[in-house]
Amino acid sequence: MQAIVETLFDAVYLISVITIGILMIRGSKEDRQFRLFGWMAVVLGAGDSFHLVPRVLALCTTGLENYTVPLGIGKWITSVTMTIFYVLLYYVWRQRYKIIGQGGLTVAVYGLAGLRIALCMMPQNQWLSAEAPLSWGIYRNIPFALLGLMVIVLFYRSAKEHRDKPFRWMWLTIVLSFGFYIPVVLWADIIPMIGMLMIPKTCAYVGTVLIGYFAMKQECRR
């Protein structure tokens, strides 16, 4: 039953976000913010596929324990692409609200993203092991969480200041995604059922993508 439900959910998710991303790239009408948003959605779906496809294969065949290496590689790739996702989202913010300058903010974004990716590359993560250390899961997610917090604050302040109705809940979808993700990092190995929080986390990301898509549909037909 788990295999069927997860397979259907993951297939709908991956097809949806990649399709929406392509539609946004093609339908952006030279509006750079929506083209960036489209690439952001494609990066999200393509990156997650490296982890979700092996997981689906494992559930539908011989079990997760026999797919440790492909699952670890997929998780590694997804960790990097999710970092890129937030860097692109930062540039969506700059484009949408026509931000000029603020070089220090950009340096901070790249610094946190670079640190996150560097930590993901460390062999101590033991991506290919079934007993990956929790400590390194925490280390690599600290700069990731700080990067996410920056993006949350930026979208919250700017949407409120500009009374930007299409993007007024962008900050909340990111808060929810981290709210569901952090318990999985901390406790999923101890309490496997907590891993189910990845489903609402994924739904929060779909919500993020849909905010951009509906904003494009509304604004690009003017």
Residues 6+ away with beta carbon under 8 Å from 154: 90, 93
Per residue, the 3-state secondary structure of 87-129, as one string, reads HHHHHHHHHHCCCCCCHHHHHHHHHHHHHHHHHHHCHHHCCCC
Q: Which CATH class is domain 2-219?
A: mainly alpha
Cα–Cα dist 105/39, whole Å = 22
What residue type is 102 in one-letter code?
A: Q
List the chain pLDDT tens, one digit each, 222 residues. Answer: 777 888 899 999 999 999 999 999 998 888 899 999 999 999 999 999 999 999 899 888 888 788 899 999 999 999 999 999 999 999 999 999 999 988 999 999 999 999 999 999 999 999 998 888 989 999 999 999 999 999 999 999 999 999 999 999 999 999 999 999 999 888 877 887 888 888 999 999 999 999 999 999 988 765
